Amino acid sequence: MNAWHIGDPELEPIVDKVLSGRRLTLEDGLVLYRTPDLLTVARLADRVNRKFNGDRAYFIENMYINPTNICEANCAFCGFKRNPGENGAYTMYPEDVLQYVAERMNPNIREFHIVGGHNHLEPFDYYLNIVRTLKEHYPHVTIKAYTAAEIVFFSKISGRSIEDVLRALIDAGLETLPGGGAEILSERYRLKMSPDKATTEEWLNVHRTAHRLGLKTHATMLYGSPIETLEERLTHMILIRELQDETNGFLVFIPLAMQPRSVTASIKKRTSAYDDLRTIAVSRLMLDNIPHIKSYWINIGTQLAQLSLTFGASDLHGTLVEERISHAVGALTQAGLTRDELVWLIQGAGKIPVERDTFYNVVRVYDPAPARA
């Protein structure tokens, strides 16, 4: 214990718990969030990450596809949604999606990440056909499509059960679900921030059902709103952890920093670097049964994402090509990165870059950065 040089006595029992492999409670999480000794929290998170992943840090070559921004939901944090007929509203049909992909495709793309608006003007078959068409034309590319909130929406417009919706999508070529639509898994929060979308239990049930059907999926948490509490963030993590205990179906947890409505918004409207790094570290420590914590460089920036690789993160996400949703609400980062840039960021953090597929199977291991003389 003394070798840790703990600056806050309240962390001592938590350090003891982590080193002995015992599970942290919500109360422990509050201490981690409130302690001034952030470096001890980082060191603990790094230790846990190394148990899972050693010195490796992962990334993927992927492409984001947002087929429509027309949406019936009204979320307080969204700048992507448009109403029918509104300036900037669009819907891409399968032939449009194929053209979009063809203009941006390269042979290394291994994943299509597909999310969009809850467009009530289109039937469920529209969403099925997007998946089916892409899989027919690019059978080697993994289809990661539609958040749990979208799956609930599809169930409502089609009259089908959640299981039937998922089975139809799987038959069309779906291979995994993204983690979006989770926001904060608290009904108090959801009634204020996303009242038209899936409830906490509905979101969890979609992933539970997907796991039962054999899909591995992703989980997110959108933090940094003016209204959520630290207790709600931690309860969110614990609900994910409990479902993972039940199904072992989550591949990764992705903390997403909420973006302001405008790129010109002041820094006071953005999450702080301290909150971003602390949330990644706390996520790593609380989610002791999920192998990866992703650092979403789109929202927190490339340099902070690089630093997060010593705060418990093991994944820098991917190349993306063209990200729209976070950039519609004020993200300041590039819309995409190259493979070489991701490798450089990981090497600069003293980690070994590993290119992966969607399911964390290794595609290529890169050399670490050469030691400096």
Stated as kind and residue range, the H or E segment containing 316 is strand 315-318
Q: What is the dihedral of CA 111, 128, 325, 95, to 10 degrees?
A: 80
Other Cβ atoms within 10 Å of 139 Cβ, number: 9
Is 237 within a domain?
yes
pLDDT of residue 129: 98
Closest by CA to 194, choosing from 316, 71, 332, 301, is 71
- Residue 370 domain flag: no
| Chain segment 29-58, per-residue pLDDT in tens | 999 999 999 999 999 999 999 999 999 999
Whether 371 is in a domain gets the answer: no
| Any domain includes 373 | no
Note down the domain range covering 233.
2-365
Say which residues have a Cβ less than 8 Å from residue 11's Cβ, sequence separation at least 6: 31, 32, 35, 37, 40, 41
Q: Is residue 142 part of a domain?
A: yes
On the question of pLDDT at 287 being above 90, the answer is yes
Between CA 158 and CA 165 the distance in angstroms is 8
Q: What pTM was computed for the model?
A: 0.92
Residue 3: pLDDT band by 50, 70, 90 thresholds? Answer: confident
Residue 73 placed within a domain: yes
The interaxial angle of helices 124-137 and 94-104, nearest 10 deg, is 40
pLDDT of 147 higher than 80: yes
Mean pLDDT value across residues 291-311: 93
Residue 298 included in any domain: yes
Return the CATH number at 316: 3.20.20.70
Counted domains in the chain: 1
